[in-house]
Amino acid sequence: MVLPFVASYHFTQFGYGSGGPRVRHAFFSVIWFANVWEIWKERNNGIFNGKDCSILRLVDKIKLLSFSWLNEKFVQFSLNYHGWWLSPLAMLGYG
């Protein structure tokens, strides 16, 4: 169980709760950071500019960002964007 106000606990649970090899932990860490970054940006955009983003649009932004970060970080990342956009977890062997 993770306390709701401690972000580092959420990061640890998300990254290491997946089990499996170390590279999988790294993949999930990148996905976690992409989620947090996009949610933070949309939150600030809504507060300072009065613009709201739909949940589906936010998920699409997170998928695009996580795909581009994973593609840059891992040379062995050979997944295509179309498959990633349709089902990211399936592409990692979780679906």
Distance CA 81, CA 24 (A): 18
Give the per-residue pLDDT at 15: 57
58 and 42 in contact (C-beta within 8 Å)? yes
**For residue 64, what are the domain limits?**
23-91
What tokens does 8 get? 């580092």
Per-residue pLDDT of the chain (95 residues; tens, 9 = 90+): 556 677 776 666 665 655 666 667 778 888 888 988 999 898 888 877 777 778 899 989 999 999 888 888 876 766 778 877 787 777 666 65
Asked, for residue 46, whether it belongs to a domain, the answer is yes
Q: Are 33 and 69 in contact (CB under 8 A)?
A: yes
In this prediction, residue 94 carries a pLDDT of: 64
Kindly state whether residue 1 falls inside one of the protein's structural domains: no
Q: Is residue 17 part of a domain?
A: no
Residues with Cβ within 8 Å of residue 79, at least 6 apart in sequence: 67, 70, 91
Quote the number of domains for the chain. Answer: 1
Give one word for 20, left, alpha or beta, with left for phi > 0 and alpha for psi -120 to 50: left
Which pTM was predicted?
Answer: 0.71
Does some domain include residue 78?
A: yes
